[in-house]
Structures are given as structure tokens and as C-alpha cells.
Amino acid sequence: MPDLNHPELDSIAKKAREWRRAIHRQPELLFDLPQTASFVADKLGEFGCDEVHRGIAGSGIVAIINGMGGAGRSIALRADMDALPIQERTNLPYASAVEGRMHACGHDGHTAMLLAAACHLSRHRDFPGRVVLIFQPAEEGGGGARVMIDEGLLDRFAIDEVYALHNRPGLPVGYFASRPGPILAAGDRFVIRLQGRGGHAASPHLARDAILAQAHLVSALQMIASRNTDPLDSVVLSVTYLEAGNPDALNVIPGEIRIGGTMRSLRPETRRQAEARLREILSGTAAAFGVDAELDWRPGYPVTINDPDIAHAALDAVRAIAPDERVDDSCPPEMGSEDFSYMLERCPGAFVWIGNGDSADLHNAAYDFNDEAIIHGLRFWLGIVQARAAFR
């Protein structure tokens, strides 16, 4: 089985730091990752992976490493590869060379850690079953995981279990956190159009005031969390966009207004109930104020739900590489979203946080992945293979 203290791991981690920085310099977005995908696929070929499949979901890559320890599970390890449309503000020597793009979520680090695992496992195949390495495009809003599944990922490669590792600013380097059950929220978006009848600000009785309707609507929508959801459950509804009127025509009541925002939830049934309640509140408010309402509901990623047994197994694997005090096995769920949720809907698996130390937060122009985390991520991946590859 993989040796979690093999003397070559430190040298691989040092190489992975350079791979990470090379990827960081050339950030690419969503499904269009030609340089990143080529870099990853070439490395996997150099390592001697048994199979390297390119072009899944556009730029996605799947590699296979067969163990030499007999029959066992098909264990999938997933890393995301895409960057964000953010202008980097780090002034680092390896900062993004592409205007308006940067790796502000650490996907460059995730890719480098999984490449490091591929490098070691290709050389040391003393494990049963096989390892499926998934390098996924378009996590940042494109749903690349869903597209890979639609193109046959789970069935084509006969995956038994799937795991993802994501860095977490504020969690010390060398620390890990996860939990059974929901760990990240569903994130849905909405845009509402209220159509009234414009008029003179001095004669509001002759208009149908969409501004007044939206003011009541924004307030009423907060009842979904405060009055329609169990206080021990979680829903966050944020109105983040308003568009109406003209600052050069302040004596005009506008006829139309647009409202947009997000709604996040931690249970599939709560998600359905919250959406239904939003529609009811919108319909009732529109009727009360005599305006017409249109809802553009944009479903986002589902709730990320760790399989309870697999989550416990993953945390046991972490304890093989980190002391108990560095392992949080009941971290609270967070209201961000992850398209790894699509994989967990179809296959047993777990999402695990790895510490990024005292860095800027994710999706921040000052963020940088902490290279000191690479060795811990490498050992985590080897620990998963060690703990889960054999049938029991």
C-alpha cells in the first residue's frame, strides 16, 4: 500500500510547487482550458499513467493508474482546474500574466496536488484496484462536473467512490476538516421583473408603482428565512441587484424594475420549499400592488452532501497523516456552493477541506494558494488510496 512517509514525497511536493506556479501564471476560464489541460495531460503521460483521456467536457482529463495488488475498488480523486475573471492584486513573481484573470480559488493548487499524487502512484503501484484521476473544467459557474457526468464519466470508468479536496483560508496548514451530510449549500439565482405603469411623481394615483412593490417584495422575501424555515435549518436569501428609473428624471415613476439575487440552502427539501415560497410571495405582492411579475429562476449547484460512511472513512484516512487535534470531523456547513455536488448525487464520496493558512479569502484579488499545503494534500490522496482501494 502507499507509503505515506516515503522519502520521495518531499521532492515531488517541491516539483508540484513549480507546476502550480506555472499553472497560476496562465489562468483560463470555464471549459476553455487549452494550456492548462495540455500541461496536465503531458505530465500524466510523462508519469506513465496507464490511460490518459482528453477532451471530456471540453478540456477535462481523466487518467487511470492500475494497482498491482489485485482486485479492489475504483477510487476517483477529483481536482478542478479553472480560474476566475478577477484582476490579480498580489504582486507575486508568478502572478497571473493574463489581464483580468487569476486563480483566486486555489484550483491551481488542487491540480498540482493531484498531479503530485499521480506522479507517486504511477511509480509505486502497491495497491489493489485502480485510481481514477479527474481533472475537471468549469467549476466556477459552468457545472463542469455535471457535463463530465453527462458524457459518461462515472459509468465509463466504473467509479466506486469519489473524493474532492479544497483549500480553506483561515484553517491552518496541515489541518483538515469535513463532516458527514451537507457540507456546502445549494446556490440558486433569480431575476424578477416587475412591470407597472409609469407616471408623474406628483400623481402616483395614476400610476402602478413598481418601486413601491419592489420595496415591499424585498422585505417580504426575507420571511422565507425568518418565518418559513425551521430556525435550526439554513436559508440565506440576498437581494444583490436593483435596476429602475433614471437619476436625471427623478420626477418620473418608472414603469419597470428588475430585482436579482441568490438563495442558498442546505437541504434539498428546504431548497424546494424556499423556491415555492418565493414564487408565492412574488405572486401575492404583485397582485397586492397591481403590477405584473416575471420570474427568471436559475437553478445553481445542488447541496454538497457527503456520504456519512465515506466521510468517516475519509476522516480516518486523514488521521493516518495528521494528529487528532488537526482533524475537525464536525465542521459546520458553509453557504458557498460546489459542483462536486453533482458527483456526490450519483456516487458515494466526500468533500474535504485542507488548510490554506492565514491567506486572503477565496475569490479575493489578494488570494494565493499556500504551497506549504501541497505535501499535506499529497499525503491525503495517498492516504485515501491506502484506506479505500481494497475491498473489505
Q: Which three cell numbers stand for residue 215?
A: 420595496
Bridge-based pairing state of the strands 327-328 and 176-177: parallel
Instruction: Answer yes or no: is pLDDT of 386 > 70.
Output: yes
Cα separation, 370 vs 199, in Å, equals 57
Name the average pLDDT for the chain: 96
Average pLDDT over residues 92-101: 98
- Say whether pLDDT at 6 is over 90: no
Closest CA to 56 of 161, 135, 139: 135
CA–CA distance, 292 with 284 (Å, rounded to integer) = 11
379 and 390 Cβ atoms separated by less than 8 Å = no
In the chain, the amino acid numbered 202 is A
Q: Are 94 and 19 in contact (CB under 8 A)?
A: no
Do 96 and 105 form a contact (C-beta atoms < 8 A)?
A: no
pLDDT at 1: 65
3-state helix, strand, coil in the chain (%, to 5): 35, 25, 40
> What percentage of the chain reaches a pLDDT higher than 90?
96
Question: What pLDDT is stored for residue 357 in this prediction?
Answer: 98
Nearest to residue 52, comparing CAs of 67, 34, 37, 33? 37
Which residues partner with 304 through β-bridges?
Answer: 184
pLDDT at 392 (0 to 100): 58
Q: Residue 391's pLDDT is what?
A: 67
Can you tell me the distance from the alpha carbon of 148 to that of 300, in angstroms, rounded to the nearest whole number? 17
Handedness of CA 376, 378, 380, 383 (dihedral sign): negative
Specify the pLDDT at position 5.
81
Query: What tens digit of pLDDT does each residue of 117-166 get?
Result: 999 999 999 999 999 999 999 999 999 999 999 999 999 999 999 999 99
Q: What is the DSSP letter of 360?
A: P
Separation between Cα atoms, residue 384 and residue 323, nearest integer Å: 16
Using alpha carbons, select from 296, 381, 334, 306 the residue that is nearest to residue 113: 381
Mean pLDDT of 108-112: 98
Nearest to 105, CA basis, from 40, 177, 164: 164
The single-letter code of the amino acid at 64 is I
pLDDT at 3: 72
